[in-house]
């Protein structure tokens, strides 16, 4: 075990003469946005102009890269006059160009010409319109029900698809948003063609969700493809605006249930690139198609892996030189890295980011490629650039912490937004070489009047001894080293998550500090299987979800048990979703350690989870029956010794109700007591003021049985 030299001692911090004596209320802990550091609202680049804009009180303000004074771009009063409506606050807005600002208010969009000071175009979307996707030429595509439409510059609506069968869905996200998929509409660069997903759900089974909002109640059926069962069939169509004709790409690599992801148009708008993944998620092909005819042209790259391949990023053509593109994968060198590929042949010319760390593509200008990575530390995120010709790498962010960046259109500047354990939030405007132009924001500590416990970051060796797993530990308010304190282990532990980062107060949720103020040690640790540590670290869970994760969490618990101020007889665990699965796994597999658990929306048996996520990490139940049996929590119900509360949204469409109700039934069969609390109108998560009730319920359970 080693501790990083990063600690925040809340009890010792003061601001002038203001004493730190306030204690969080539950409402502040759950909904208290004012307790998070200040940000700049709607911060963005002004189209292709090297100016950043944001909302400040009632004004849209801007700052040029020349480093001059901040200026008012438009007042709320001016916008109200232009729109012909008295606005109380700035609506959502975005720049379509340096001159044109798009303002979105519900189902009405307005295009405002900044030079003329008037609305040049209005879009009044019909009831039920969703997934609005604009092109810079003024066309906007959207969906209504299961069909796809677009609206022209004059507000006229045109139907792209005409399916009366509601099990054929067009223009919407597919594959339950896995594989980096976030939408289903893809305009060509020239705006003359529109690519879209088409999803055939005829063979997908349904699951009933109970709606109690009518006198007699009703059932709402959702399509839910469970592991090992029939899944949706996805195709990609291309609609030509001029001819009003649609062709479908001839994608036939792996049969009816292949996945299509990372849809990319080439700069000429003539070709489409698709990463095609087989149902088993072990074989991927990057294919090129003729967008006019749908004809398959060439497989450029292939990836295969005995565990799984997970394509997450579209290809990126070099600016000014479409003969090459940038490709991101973690299947070649063990980490997500960037590679330069020849467009005509698919030949990998070289690895651009030669680091043993996961990287994320940020931008490129044809000379430099910009990326962020974990190469400094897995809990830090920094911006680098690599020269395409020389391969020379330069680090562009020097300040310790987690940096998020947005490049300007021409790649000559970037917005650098960062925080670290003891730095609340800083936003700087910088040149592409990393030199600072000016500081846009330096936030104050929003919790300076509160009596916060000490936050520590450190590491514990993974159970296999190969990795350092990072944690945050919050000590109780007014900590006394001579006392013994109960512990709450908060856990998620699943793929694509990272709970511990070197950000303001170590990414803690305010409820954790609420519990620390009420006398608990709170411990959070990322284990094998989580994000940002390379392919081997993530794939350690494959085929037996929960096993490596539990082993690592128990190493963290053993560290806790070695601390003189920890009461080893009073250790509890809490988590939601994958964390709910982990909570019940820990309390049933280690009943001698965990006295109390609260599990929210827990996965109980992976046979009841959806195909795309479940089969990636567990394979199919037909090929890995022993693995599914091993990690199922149904047989573990008989081993429950401590107090367990399960909370569940009754209309959860992610972890369906079958999971938690089946575990309750197993407890009844085995004469084991368990507590259960449903949230009748909640889906997978509980939001809004209902969440105050939820977290009070969780708190009360620990107070009643762990205190």
User: Which residues participate in catalysis according to the annotation?
Assistant: 577, 652, 684
Mark 178-199 as b/e (b = at least 16 C-beta within 10 Å): bbebeebbbbbeeebbbbbbbb
> 170: helix, coil or strand?
strand
Q: Which of 237, 246, 164, 150 is nearest to 199 (CA)?
A: 237
Q: Which of 677, 643, 682 is nearest to 660 (CA)?
A: 677
C-alpha 50, offset from chain centre: 29
Helix-then-strand count for the chain, H and E: 10, 44
What long-range pairs does 623-629 form, CB within 8 A, spacing at least 24?
A: 624/543, 627/543, 627/544
**487, two tokens:** 């512990």
Residues 321 and 265 sit within 8 Å (Cβ to Cβ): no
> 455: helix, coil or strand?
strand
CA gap 92, 610 in Å, rounded: 34
**544, two tokens:** 């037996």
Q: Which residues pair with 169 in a beta bridge?
A: 199
CA gap 315, 510 in Å, rounded: 38
CA gap 301, 518 in Å, rounded: 56
Residues 486 and 519 sit within 8 Å (Cβ to Cβ): yes
Q: What are phi and psi of 376, to 5 degrees?
A: -75, -45
Residues 188 and 196 sit within 8 Å (Cβ to Cβ): no
For 552-674, strand residue ranges (E) read: 566-576, 596-600, 643-649
**377, two tokens:** 């530390």
Tell me, letter by letter, the H, E, C secondary structure of 506-545. HHCCHHHHHHHHCCCEEEEECCCCCCCCCHHHHHCCCCCC
Helix axis angle for 690-705 and 510-517, nearest 10°, is 40
Radius of gyration of the chain measured on its C-alpha atoms: 27
CA distances from 347 to 339, 344, 351, 432 (A): 10, 8, 12, 30
End-to-end CA distance of the chain: 28
CA gap 553, 516 in Å, rounded: 20
Residues 595 and 162 sit within 8 Å (Cβ to Cβ): no
Report DSSP letters for 555-577, one per residue.
Answer: HHHHHHHTSTTEEEEEEEEEEET
Could you say which DSSP state residue 479 is in?
Answer: -
């Amino acid at each position: 075990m080693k501790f990083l030299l990063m600690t925040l001692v809340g009890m010792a911090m003061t601001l002038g003469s203001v004493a730190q004596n306030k204690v969080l209320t539950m409402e502040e802990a759950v909904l208290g946005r004012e307790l998070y550091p200040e940000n700049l609202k709607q911060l963005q680049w002004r189209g292709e102009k090297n100016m950043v804009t944001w909302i400040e009180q009632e004004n849209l303000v801007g700052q040029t890269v020349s480093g001059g004074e901040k200026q008012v771009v438009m007042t709320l009063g001016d916008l109200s006059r232009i729109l012909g409506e008295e606005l109380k606050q700035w609506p959502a807005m975005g720049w379509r160009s340096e001159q044109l600002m798009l303002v979105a208010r519900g189902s009405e969009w307005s295009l405002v010409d900044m030079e003329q000071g008037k609305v040049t175009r209005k879009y009044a979307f019909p009831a039920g319109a969703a997934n609005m996707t604009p092109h810079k030429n003024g066309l906007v595509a959207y969906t209504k029900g299961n069909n796809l439409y677009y609206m022209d510059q004059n507000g006229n609506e045109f139907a792209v698809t005409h399916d009366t069968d509601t099990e054929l869905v067009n223009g919407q996200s597919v594959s339950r948003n896995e594989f980096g998929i976030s939408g289903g509409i893809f305009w060509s660069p020239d705006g003359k063609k529109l690519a879209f997903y088409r999803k055939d759900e005829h063979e997908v089974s349904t699951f009933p969700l109970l709606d109690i909002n009518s006198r007699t109640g009703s059932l709402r059926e959702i399509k839910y493809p469970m592991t090992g069962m029939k899944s949706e069939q996805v195709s990609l169509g291309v609609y030509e605006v001029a001819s009003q004709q649609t062709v479908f790409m001839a994608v036939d690599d792996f049969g009816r249930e292949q996945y299509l992801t990372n849809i990319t148009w080439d700069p000429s708008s003539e070709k489409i690139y698709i990463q095609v993944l087989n149902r088993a998620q072990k074989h991927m092909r990057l294919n090129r198609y003729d967008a006019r005819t749908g004809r398959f042209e060439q497989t450029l790259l292939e990836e295969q892996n005995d565990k799984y391949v997970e394509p997450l990023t579209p290809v990126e053509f070099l600016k000014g030189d479409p003969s090459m593109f940038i490709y991101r994968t973690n299947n070649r060198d063990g980490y997500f890295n960037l590679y330069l590929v020849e467009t005509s042949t698919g030949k990998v010319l070289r690895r651009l980011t030669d680091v043993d760390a996961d990287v994320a593509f940020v931008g490129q200008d044809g000379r430099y490629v910009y990326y962020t990575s974990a190469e400094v530390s897995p809990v830090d995120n920094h911006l680098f650039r690599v020269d395409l010709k020389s391969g020379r790498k330069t680090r562009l962010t020097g300040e310790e912490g987690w940096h998020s960046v947005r490049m300007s259109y021409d790649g000559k500047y970037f917005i650098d937004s960062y925080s670290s354990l003891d730095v609340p939030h800083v936003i700087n405007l910088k040149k592409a070489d990393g030199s600072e132009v000016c500081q846009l924001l330096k936030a104050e500590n929003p919790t300076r009047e509160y009596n916060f416990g000490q936050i520590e970051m450190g590491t514990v060796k993974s159970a296999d001894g190969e990795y350092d797993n990072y944690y945050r530990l919050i000590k109780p308010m007014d900590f006394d080293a001579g006392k013994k304190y109960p512990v709450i282990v908060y856990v998620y532990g699943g793929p694509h998550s990272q709970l511990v980062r070197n950000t303001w107060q170590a990414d803690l949720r305010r409820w954790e500090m609420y519990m620390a103020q009420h006398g608990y040690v709170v411990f959070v640790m990322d284990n094998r299987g989580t994000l940002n540590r390379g392919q081997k670290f993530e794939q350690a869970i494959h085929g037996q979800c929960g096993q490596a994760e539990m082993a690592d969490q128990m190493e963290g618990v053993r560290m806790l048990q070695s601390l003189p101020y920890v009461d080893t007889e009073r250790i509890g665990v809490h988590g939601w979703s994958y964390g709910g699965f982990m909570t019940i796994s820990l309390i049933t597999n280690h009943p001698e350690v965990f006295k109390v658990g609260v599990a929210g929306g827990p996965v109980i048996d992976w046979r009841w989870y959806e195909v795309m996520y479940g089969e990636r990490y567990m394979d199919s139940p037909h090929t890995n029956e022993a693995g599914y049996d091993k990690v199922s929590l149904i047989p573990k119900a008989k081993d429950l010794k401590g107090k367990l509360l399960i909370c569940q949204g009754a209309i959860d469409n992610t972890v369906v109700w079958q999971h938690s109700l089946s575990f309750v039934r197993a407890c009844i069969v085995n004469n084991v007591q368990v507590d259960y609390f449903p949230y009748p109108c909640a889906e997978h998560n509980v939001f809004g003021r209902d969440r105050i009730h939820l977290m009070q319920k969780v708190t009360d359970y620990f107070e009643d049985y762990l205190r």
